[in-house]
Structure 1
Amino acid sequence: MTTTIVKATRRSVVAGVAAGLGLMIGGFTLAGTALAQEVDLAKAKSEGKVVWYTSTPIEQANKLARMFEEQTGIKVELFRSGGSAILRRFNQEASAGRVAADVLTTSDPAASNVMTEQGLFVAFKPKDFDKIPAEAKDPNGNWIGQRLNLITIYMRGDKIPAADRPAKWTDLTDAKYDGKLVMTDPSFTSLQLSVVGTLSQKLGWDYYKKLADNDVMVVQGNQQVSDNLKRGERLIAVGALDSYAAEDRKDGHDIVTVYPADGTFVIPSPTAVVKGSPNPNAAKAFAEFMISPAAQKVFPADGGYSARSDIDPPAGSPKVSELTILPVDYAALEKNAAKIKDQFNDLFR
């Protein structure tokens, strides 16, 4: 079981924020340049539950929910789906004037920035806010990165010889990969929307036309990509969430990751406290728990990346600073999201 790393120029996508001073002033803790707000745990416990809408992989979501319940006695009601599906449900409820979710976690910083502008979130800077790099949070605390998502190319190492493995995104249009590729649907997962929106801008839609000509299979989400490779129906994952590859390696599958020489995607998963939610104190307690060391260590243990600057990457994986990063224009992405999905659908359906 090997992980292939395509070496790239060192460039950091995230930089640590100054450490907290740890001084108490009127119920607030000085944390770097920002004041960390206290959580009223007694009120949170009296509310008794927190409703969490999330696109976090289901096993991780359940693990985090159990940890929080064990620590606090507060029940977590979990609704889990793909990022785009989560946002659709949340926005439909908001449009109807109904707030059901207390905490929202997606993988769409663009949408989270828009919802921040719309005033849908509570500005909240919990303990350890300063441990989350500036690039992975809203400066006022309207959303905070739960984890970092690395979007890579990964494949069956036992089926694709080293000499035939793609090293860049553009390699995937080669005819030798015809019928071997699988990718997620940007209409279902917002991570793929970031990938398609960025690569179609960088390489042109002709790039995706060539992928379509290579008979790419399109599935709903990242779990389906992983299952597809393990069954051997397709052999190469195109722009998929790498924590699934790491988990499959841990389970004994020969999965090889390539961090593309022309750039890896590093996308934070925003967590936000919803304004006007039924359980506002439990929501803050859960949001604070989400960036605690115990919760954040769950991600590298499962092969993913913590959002905290003081927690190491998963064993055997590179630091973010060792990769070439493809920047994502989130403002342009949100503006053009519908058009990107339509153009993708025209090519692949």
Structure 2
Amino acid sequence: MFLINRREMLALAAWSVAASRAWADAPMHAQERELYEAAKREGEITWYSGQYNADSAEAAGRAFNARYPGVRCNVVRSTSQVAFQRLSQDQRAGVAQCDVFSSTNGGHYIQLKRQNRLTQFRPVNADGLLPILRIADPDNYFQSSFLGVFLIGHNTTMVSEADAPRSWADILDPKWRNKLAVGHPGFSGAIGVWALQMRTMLGPDFLRRLEANKPQVGRSSIDPVTMMNAGERPIGVAVSANSTLLAASRGNPLRLIYPSEGVVAAISPSAILANAPHPNAAKLFMEFQTGPGLSAAVREIFNESIRPDVPPPVGSRPLSETTMLAPSLEEAERGVPEVREQWRDIFGI
């Protein structure tokens, strides 16, 4: 079972506080300073985010506010599909509320770019990201800002490590009937990407075989963690590493399983809307997202760092030792809506 001892927790807290303070006081580069001065005249930025859970998104907002006094970050947190629906409703109503949009479904950005709804901008801080994240769009309409790792978890009081599934294929074994919990691709972009990757890897009948095991279906990737905590289901499928590690750090008997095929990686962008009501604050927020401040803030809540100068969270496997699986943005745009409809047909929800 994964446990964080008191020494590790104290070290993590001390590092996070020191790193956050150091970053908040660090000198701004020229573009950041220019954007900050312009953003102060706008006063705020509204962030539609489906990438982080509520605690992490609020921590990111607080870190932004500490770094840039006078520019308030309004965090509107939901699942990615709900965030995109909200954005679509804004467009139909002819209103501009969102400045920066962050989703785990890369296909959203292909669609928004094609509709000329995004602003070109490349943050200077993007040059300091992990190499796999530095380029998201060659035309700079969106920029990688999040790396989520999705895998399997189990309640160790209900299923032992020896008996737990070891691969994605294992969850299709009939012995796990009525023992699985999973999110819904109609609400979560990450679950849509995961389902698409599983169908590609394990065959077109994957969803039907999964449904035969009668998983309990929630909405986001966080719901299976809640179900494991409550003892409702022993196995969480496509759970995020950070939500599971956070729950384990609070004393819940949860453990991560790194499937033998690899983890599903949600390498996800953010983008500025073309009709952003606070365009300078939006650009400043993109600098913040790709800089060390956001990674330092969310690492404290067990999210993956997207920069080499901010270490990974306690309890996670180094990315260099992990096989990462993910469809391309183009594959996600085509495949996620299709797999979402297939899910509804098969599961009836």
Q: TM-score range by the shorter chain?
A: 0.7 to 0.9
1-structure distance, mates of 2:34, 2:283:
6
Deviations 1:23-58 (A, max 9, x none): xxxxx97xxxxxx78742222101111111111211
Residues 133-212 of structure 1: pairs in structure 2 closer than 5 A: 133=130, 135-136=132-133, 137-212=136-211
Q: 2:266, 2:326 within 8 Å by CA — same for their partners in 1?
A: no
Q: Does 1:106 align with 2:96?
A: no
Q: How many aligned positions are there?
A: 319
- In the alignment, residue 165 of structure 2 is paired with which amino acid? P
In structure 2, the partner of 1:14 is none
Q: 1:246, 1:304 within 8 Å by CA — same for their partners in 2?
A: no
2-structure distance, mates of 1:316, 1:65:
24
Q: 2:245, 2:302 within 8 Å by CA — same for their partners in 1?
A: yes
2-structure distance, mates of 1:63, 1:76:
11
In structure 2, the partner of 1:78 is 75
Deviates further, 186-195 or 250-259? 250-259
2-structure distance, mates of 1:134, 1:340:
30
In structure 2, the partner of 1:68 is 64
Match of 2:36 among 33, 37, 41: 41
In structure 2, the partner of 1:218 is 217
| Secondary structure, counterpart of 1:185 in structure 2 | coil
Q: 1:246, 1:303 within 8 Å by CA — same for their partners in 2?
A: yes
Deviations 1:82-132 (A, max 9, x none): 100101111232244432111111112222133223332222222321112
Q: 2:106, 2:332 within 8 Å by CA — same for their partners in 1?
A: no
Please list every run of 5 or more consecutive structure 2 residues that lacks an aligned counterpart in the other structure: 4-28
How far residue 252 of structure 1 moved from its aligned partner, in angstroms, is: 1.3
Question: TM-score normalized by structure 2?
Answer: 0.86
Deviations 1:306-344 (A, max 9, x none): 222332221232111211222313312212333211111
Q: More helix by proportion, 1 or 2? A: 2
Q: More strand by proportion, 1 or 2? A: 1
2-structure distance, mates of 1:297, 1:37:
18
Q: 1:152, 1:238 within 8 Å by CA — same for their partners in 2?
A: yes
2-structure distance, mates of 1:313, 1:141:
27
Task: Using the aligned pairs only, state the percent identity.
Answer: 25
| Structure 2 CA distance for partners of 1:309 and 1:120, relative to 1, 3 Å | farther
Please list every run of 5 or more consecutive structure 1 residues that lacks an aligned counterpart in the other structure: 4-27, 30-35
Residues 285-304 of structure 1: pairs in structure 2 closer than 5 A: 285-304=284-303
Deviates further, 243-252 or 181-190? 243-252
1-structure distance, mates of 2:106, 2:131:
13
Q: 1:51, 1:77 within 8 Å by CA — same for their partners in 2?
A: yes
| Structure 2 CA distance for partners of 1:97 and 1:39, relative to 1, 3 Å | farther
Q: 1:268, 1:307 within 8 Å by CA — same for their partners in 2?
A: no
Residues 330-345 of structure 1: pairs in structure 2 closer than 5 A: 330-345=329-344
Q: Does 1:125 align with 2:149?
A: no
- In the alignment, residue 320 of structure 2 is paired with which amino acid? S
2-structure distance, mates of 1:158, 1:140:
50
| Secondary structure, counterpart of 1:148 in structure 2 | strand
Deviations 1:237-257 (A, max 9, x none): 111212110101111112111
2-structure distance, mates of 1:161, 1:226:
17
| Secondary structure, counterpart of 2:324 in structure 1 | coil
Q: 2:153, 2:257 within 8 Å by CA — same for their partners in 1?
A: yes
2-structure distance, mates of 1:75, 1:123:
23
2-structure distance, mates of 1:345, 1:278:
36
Question: TM-score normalized by structure 1?
Answer: 0.86
Q: What's the C-alpha RMSD, in Å, of the aligned pairs?
A: 2.0
